[in-house]
């Protein structure tokens, strides 16, 4: 599937610019359709230098304009958890298969992003406009995979070349994840798109409220705020908002919350925290989307 450069060209390029990223493409096609640049039928591996300086990353408005024309884009750049391996489907979401899902993701430096071909929508490839990564020639084979390791902060727009004008485009934003200084909390809540590193302070109050089903993570799939600080002895109430959808509140290490899924607005879960510590919870049906929260008790 790949039109990767020959080994000689690859080594010359690596010697000139150094390798800050690794990419590979594996195709499920017949042996006669093996990628160029392989010696024994294995995957072609390329090295490239990220050409996007984070200080020169495109402004928000041009990026929004770019994404406005992307099939399957729902208005949110979905943050992926550090040390995860995000997967983007190639040829999904729309009836004609001309979309990446998710088309817009944010990852931490050092993250390997994998693109999986679904077999829908005809011939596709994955090509960065800044030249950072390129899966090679187009392919329609279900099961084809391509991956790239992003090592430096930056903004990388990409397309499927045959379908660029039809809206098959995406973006990978590489940025340091937000941090509150509470490592346990950060590792858990960073996957939530509405977490910006802030732990909202509700100390000095007897009752604190967390809204359930606020906008985030590609829909009404977030807690607001996702991170809360309270005093020992404070009661936290989880209040479902209007049209929030089916959610629950389940804690990781304590007997609190409720596994029951609620849809009606109002307070359905409450707990009084007596012992200092960091308590992690999630909505089980939507945890994988990033619907996570934390309570810090002082």
Structural domain spans, the chain: 7-174, 183-297
Question: Are 159 and 124 a contacting pair, CB within 8 Å?
Answer: no
> SS3 for 182?
coil
CATH number, domain 7-174, options 2.40.10.10, 2.60.40.420, 1.20.1630.10, 3.40.50.720: 2.60.40.420
CA distances to 149, 156, 213, 229 from 117, in Å? 18, 20, 32, 43
Average pLDDT score over the chain: 83
The pLDDT tens digits for 51-72 are: 333 324 344 458 989 999 999 9
Average of pLDDT values for 91-119? 93
Q: What percent of the chain has pLDDT over 70?
A: 80
Q: Give the pLDDT band (50/70/90) at residue 15.
A: very low
Give 175's DSSP letter. Answer: -
Closest CA to 148 of 87, 233, 206: 87
Answer yes or no: is 156 a known binding residue: no
Residue 40, classified by CB atoms within 10 Å of its CB into exposed (0-12), middle (13-18) or buried (19+), is exposed
Is the model's pLDDT at 5 over the cut of 70? Answer: no
Answer yes or no: is 291 a known binding residue: yes
The pLDDT tens digits for 68-78 are: 999 999 888 98
**DSSP secondary structure of 50-101:** ----GGGPPPHHHHHHHHHTSTT--S--EEPPTT---EEEES-SSTT---EE
Give 43's DSSP letter. Answer: -
Q: Is 248 left (phi over 0), alpha (psi -120 to 50) or beta?
A: beta
Sequence-distant (6+) residues with CB within 8 A of 283 are: 212, 221, 223, 247, 248, 249, 250, 291, 292
- Tell me the residue ranges of DSSP E strands in 175-265: 200-201, 207-216, 219-224, 227-230, 234-240, 247-251, 257-262
Answer yes or no: is 286 a known binding residue: yes
Q: Give the pLDDT confidence score for residue 33 in this predicted structure.
A: 39
**DSSP secondary structure of 113-152:** EEEEE-S-SS-B--EETTSS-B--S-B--TT-EEEEEE-S
Answer yes or no: is 168 a known binding residue: no
Q: Give the pLDDT band (50/70/90) at residue 185.
A: very high
Question: Are 81 and 53 a contacting pair, CB within 8 Å?
Answer: no
Q: Which two tokens stand for residue 107?
A: 């990852």
The pLDDT tens digits for 121-165 are: 999 999 999 999 999 999 999 999 999 999 999 999 999 999 999
CA distances to 113, 241, 278 from 78, in Å? 13, 22, 25
Closest CA to 128 of 72, 49, 188: 49
Q: What percent of the chain has pLDDT over 90?
A: 69
| 183-297 matches 7-174 in CATH topology | yes
Between CA 280 and CA 183 the distance in angstroms is 12
Q: What's the CATH code, domain 183-297?
A: 2.60.40.420
């Amino acid at each position: 599937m790949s039109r990767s450069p020959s080994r000689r060209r690859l080594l010359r390029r690596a010697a000139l610019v150094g390798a800050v990223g690794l990419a590979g493409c594996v195709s499920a096609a017949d042996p006669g359709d093996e990628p160029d640049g392989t010696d024994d039928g294995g995957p072609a591996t390329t090295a490239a230098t990220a050409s996007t300086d984070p200080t020169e990353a495109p402004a928000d408005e041009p990026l929004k304009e770019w994404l406005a024309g992307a099939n399957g884009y729902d208005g949110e750049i979905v943050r992926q958890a550090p040390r995860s391996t995000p997967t983007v489907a190639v040829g999904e979401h729309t009836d004609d298969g001309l979309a990446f899902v998710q088309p817009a993701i944010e990852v931490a430096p050092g993250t390997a992003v994998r693109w999986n071909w679904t077999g829908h929508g005809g011939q596709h490839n994955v090509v960065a406009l800044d030249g950072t990564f390129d899966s090679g020639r187009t392919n329609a084979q279900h099961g084809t995979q391509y991956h790239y390791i992003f090592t430096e902060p930056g903004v990388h727009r990409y397309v499927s070349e045959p379908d660029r004008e039809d809206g098959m485009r995406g973006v990978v934003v590489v940025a340091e994840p937000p941090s509150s200084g509470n490592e346990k909390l950060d590792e858990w809540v960073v996957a939530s798109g509405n977490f910006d590193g802030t732990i909202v302070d509700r100390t000095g109050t007897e009752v604190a409220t967390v809204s359930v089903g606020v906008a985030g993570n590609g829909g009404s799939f977030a807690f607001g705020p996702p991170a809360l600080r309270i005093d020992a002895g404070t009661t936290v109430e989880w209040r479902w908002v209007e049209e929030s959808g089916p959610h629950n509140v389940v804690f990781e290490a304590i007997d609190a919350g409720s596994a029951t899924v609620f849809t009606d607005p109002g307070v359905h879960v409450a707990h009084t925290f007596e012992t200092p510590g960091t308590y992690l919870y999630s909505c089980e049906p939507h945890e994988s989307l990033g619907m996570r929260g934390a309570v810090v008790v002082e």
